[in-house]
Amino acid sequence: MSLTPGDVTHPKLAQLDELHIHLVMPKVVKESYDDLIQGETMTFSRFIEEVQGLQAGRPQSLTLL
C-alpha cells in the first residue's frame, strides 16, 4: 500500500487498529497529519529501529505477525 498526504483519516486509522495493523510512513508524510494520527503511526526509521531491537533480543513494543 502506498499513500500520499491526506490519505489517512481517523476512521481508517481506527480500522487498522482493530486489525492490529501499525501504519508506517515516511517522516515527511507523517508530519503532514494532526497530532492524533502522528501519535498512532510510526516513521520508517522508527520501524527499522524496532526491528533491529527485536533482532538484538531486546524487548520492544512492536509485534511482528
- Cα dihedral 4, 38, 19, 60 in deg (nearest 10): 120
CA atoms in the 13 A half-sphere facing the CB of 54: 12
Q: Is residue 39 classed exposed, middle or buried when 0-12, 13-18 and 19+ CB atoms within 10 A define those classes?
A: exposed
The pTM of the full predicted model, rounded to 2 decimals, is 0.69
Per residue in 14-63, pLDDT (tens digit) is: 999 999 998 999 999 899 999 999 999 999 999 999 888 888 876 556 56
